[in-house]
């Protein structure tokens, strides 16, 4: 081996930096480019003596290299290709290699840029669906997007503190995310939960239920959140891990509000509203249900939504509600009016009816459940409720302006409503006894000219009695005590 070393040094073309057995050896030519020579230790055995002379092998390799090497400054393309070819082919078998001037930085940068743009596109799609960019860290639909958003926030915090971020978050990327609507503070889920609970309560106060549709146009975030709560609840019931933190306390909080875990079956809702609409028509003789219908707020809202959806369908637009041609025909069969209610016209119509009532009965004390004109009775009740709100400085569901108040005062409308029902009941009982004493029976005709109020009242008592016998709820407070009181006088229910 010593003899081998001395021979290589005598070549005067390379300086040996390191020689390892069975390893590639890097050598640096004095004043020239780097090259590689593979040197193997030759064992002093009989077999090696018969093998090719290692010294001659090194000499041959050195001579080959000297033939390829050109004088300094020579730029012949052919010789340069030969030199590179020799170095590359000789170095291809080395486990450790220094490839000078070659990097993969450009490729990784391009990949990083492509990855960022793809995340931005995913973020935009998330915003289009949910109306915000508050992607939770453990987003079940796209776990990697949630993690990425969290990393972006961490990198942003470091940049704001003057620290070096592990992610390449340049100013251009910060501006790109802010254009999308990305929030650097992340999501406070306790705050979000309470916010949506407040919105859910407001929804219930307006519509009378918590069946928020998933794609609720007035508040898309609330609709999506309700859908996610139901999905999380199903997982909790199956003892699975939910992507949303739906603890037992939160479940109880939602149930207190009146949240329904089963969601909304719109076919069932449609049929239910149709039945309610038919019942309204049977009671009032029309389908002009006001939007803020005190006795059944969900029905009033639903009718309003149907009219809006119908207008969109007529214009060829996509309606928020599934208003198919079959449903349109179904509503028209019931007698539903697509134009809704014109309240100025309705107000004047009711005023004329009120004047006619006063001319007939001598007063404006129209009972709420007035059999001859149910709409007038309901309207008078609503006017009184609206008046009370106006007196308290509150916003009334009815447009009861000062001009309308004066108009009703001129007619003789009484804002306090009908006498207290106990007082009215006793008054009518005395009148009924007087009638019996005069005529010998209690068969007061409905249109009793001498005392129209008594005739109407007896009719209402019989209607209320029939409902009580069927186990139904009545508008008149006809308790068992009152039934017995009337039977003692001799009122006949038939």
137: which residues sit within 8 A by CB, 6+ positions away? 146, 147, 149, 150
Asked whether 224 and 213 are in contact (CB, 8 A), the reply is no
Alpha helices in 181-260 (DSSP H): 189-207, 220-237, 248-257
Q: Which residues of 53-63 are buried (b: 16+ CB within 10 A; e: fewer)?
A: ebeebbeebbe
* Pairing verdict, β 34-38 and 24-28: antiparallel
The residues spanned by each domain of the chain are: 2-91, 189-257, 266-334, 343-411, 421-489
User: Is residue 436 helix, strand or coil?
Assistant: helix
Quote the Cα angle for 300-301-307, to 5°: 95
The answer to whether residue 225 scores a pLDDT higher than 50 is yes
In this prediction, residue 343 carries a pLDDT of: 58
Distance, CA of 248 to chain centre: 22
pLDDT higher than 60, residue 3: no
Structure-block tokens of residue 412: 């003789």
In this prediction, residues 442-459 reach a mean pLDDT of 88
**Which range scores top for mean pLDDT: 14-28, 132-146, 180-194, 432-446?**
432-446
Instruction: Say whether 388 sits in a helix, a strand or coil.
Output: helix
Q: For residue range 354-372, list pLDDT tens digits in order.
A: 999 888 877 887 877 777 7
Please, what is the angle between helix 105-130 and helix 171-180, to 10°? Answer: 20
The arithmetic mean of pLDDT across residues 280-290, rounded, is 80
| Mean pLDDT (whole number) for 36-47 | 44
Question: For residue 27, what are the β-bridge partners?
Answer: 16, 35
Give yes or no for a contact between 485 and 429, defined as CB atoms under 8 angstroms apart: yes
Tell me the pLDDT tens digit for each residue of 296-305: 888 888 888 8
């Amino acid at each position: 081996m010593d003899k081998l070393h001395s021979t290589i040094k005598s070549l005067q073309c390379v300086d040996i930096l390191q020689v390892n057995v069975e390893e590639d050896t890097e050598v640096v030519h004095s004043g020239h480019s780097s090259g590689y020579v593979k040197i193997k230790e030759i064992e002093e055995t009989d077999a090696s003596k018969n093998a090719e002379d290692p010294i001659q092998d090194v000499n041959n390799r050195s001579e080959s290299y000297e033939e390829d090497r050109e004088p300094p400054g020579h730029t012949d393309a052919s010789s340069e290709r030969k030199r590179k070819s020799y170095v590359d082919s000789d170095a291809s078998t080395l486990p450790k290699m220094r490839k000078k001037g070659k990097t993969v930085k450009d490729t990784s940068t391009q990949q990083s840029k492509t990855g960022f743009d793809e995340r931005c596109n995913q973020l935009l799609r998330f915003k289009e669906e949910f109306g915000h960019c508050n992607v939770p860290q453990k987003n079940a639909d796209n776990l990697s997007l949630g993690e990425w958003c969290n990393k972006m926030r961490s990198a942003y915090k470091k940049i704001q503190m003057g620290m070096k971020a592990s992610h390449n978050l340049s100013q251009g990327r910060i501006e790109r995310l802010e254009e999308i609507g990305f929030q650097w503070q992340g999501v406070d889920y306790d705050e979000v939960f309470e916010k949506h609970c407040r919105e859910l309560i407001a929804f219930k106060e307006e519509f009378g239920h918590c069946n928020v549709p998933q794609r609720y146009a007035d508040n898309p975030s609330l609709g999506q959140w309700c859908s996610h709560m139901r999905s999380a609840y199903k997982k909790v019931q199956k003892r699975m891990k939910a992507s949303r933190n739906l603890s037992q306390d939160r479940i109880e909080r939602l149930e207190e509000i009146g949240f329904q875990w089963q969601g909304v079956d719109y076919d069932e809702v449609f049929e239910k509203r149709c039945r309610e609409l038919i019942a309204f028509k049977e009671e009032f003789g029309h389908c002009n249900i006001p939007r803020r219908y005190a006795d059944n707020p969900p029905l009033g809202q639903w009718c309003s939504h149907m009219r809006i959806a119908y207008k969109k369908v007529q214009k060829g637009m996509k309606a928020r509600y599934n208003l198919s041609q079959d449903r349109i025909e179904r509503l028209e069969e019931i007698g539903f009016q697509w134009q809704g209610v014109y309240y100025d016209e309705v107000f004047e119509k009711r005023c004329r009816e009120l004047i006619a009532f006063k001319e007939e009965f001598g007063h404006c004390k129209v009972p709420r459940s007035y059999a001859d004109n149910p709409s007038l009775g309901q309207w008078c009740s609503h006017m009184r409720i609206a008046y009370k709100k106006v007196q308290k400085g509150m916003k009334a569901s009815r447009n009861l302006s000062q001009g309308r108040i004066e108009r009703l005062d001129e007619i003789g409308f009484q804002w306090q409503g009908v006498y207290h029902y106990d007082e009215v009941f006793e008054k009518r009982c005395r009148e009924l006894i007087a009638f019996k004493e005069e005529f010998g029976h209690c068969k007061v005709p409905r249109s009793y000219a001498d005392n129209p109020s008594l005739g109407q009242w007896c009719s209402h008592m019989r209607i209320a009695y029939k409902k009580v016998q069927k186990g139904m709820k009545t508008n008149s407070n006809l308790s068992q005590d009152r039934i017995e009181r009337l039977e003692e006088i001799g009122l006949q229910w038939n």
